[in-house]
Amino acid sequence: MLSTVLMVCLILLSLALLGSIYRLIKGPSTADRVIALDTIGITMIALVAVLSMYLKTSAFLEVILLIGILTFIGTVAFAKFIERGVVLDRKRDH
Amino acid sequence: MTGNEIINLLVIVCVLLGTFLSLVTMVGLLRLPDVYSRSHAASKSATLGVMFILIGALLYFYQDYGLDARLILGILFVLITSPVAGHLISRAAYYSGVPLWDKSIRDDLKKVAKKRSSASE
């Protein structure tokens, strides 16, 4: 019962991932693509959690934290790049 | 009904709710008209969906390993960072000049942004 539900959820989450990938390819502005990437990262967290329940192992749970942190840093860097044109500010002279 | 069956039922409910919210996010990303409403859909429902799924995983692994600190940290981290990321990317979209939906009637940030840019010059 539980493993059937988890398999169905894996398939549906992959469908959600495909929708985000469509927005990533099609999106008219750069911000659309970054939003789609952020959503893909979040959905990948959910996929890893469901997969680790399906395989009955707790070995993949670090991956959840890792994907979360990397997605956040990537989104912040992209947002700063879109807004200001640089990611890391240079130090002022005075 | 034993305790394990009850926990399994709760896990099923949480995972199904989370998957439903992820699908809602997908529909929102595909059908909403402009960047801001898409970011609205993505940051809210995706956050809640992944938190439901992580709570389901927390309950599932509670049977064997007890409360898993990695999952609790993951839930807290997603709860804190995902709205911040949504805010930053909408702000970047606005200041880089992505247009609003042509049927939207109100833009309060425009006045403030104009005042701010004229003050910095």
- Searching chain A, which residue's CA lies closest to the CA of residue B72? A65
Q: Rounded to 5 degrees, what are φ and ψ at A13? A: -65, -35
Mean pLDDT, rounded, of chain B: 86
Q: Nearest Cβ partner of A82 from B8, B65, B96? A: B96
What is the C-alpha to C-alpha distance for residues B57 and B71, in angstroms, rounded to an integer? 8
Residue matched to tokens 């990948």? A44
Distance from CA of B114 to the nearest CA of A (A): 16
Mean pLDDT, rounded, of chain A: 89
When pLDDT is averaged across residues B49-67 and rounded to a whole number, the result is 89
Contact B14, B44 (CB under 8 A): no
When pLDDT is averaged across residues A65-81 and rounded to a whole number, the result is 92
Give yes or no for residue B96 having a pLDDT over 90. Answer: no
Whole-prediction pTM value?
Answer: 0.87
Chain A interface mutation, best of B96, B100, B101, highest count of A Cβ atoms under 10 Å: B96
> Does the complex come out with an ipTM higher than 0.90?
no
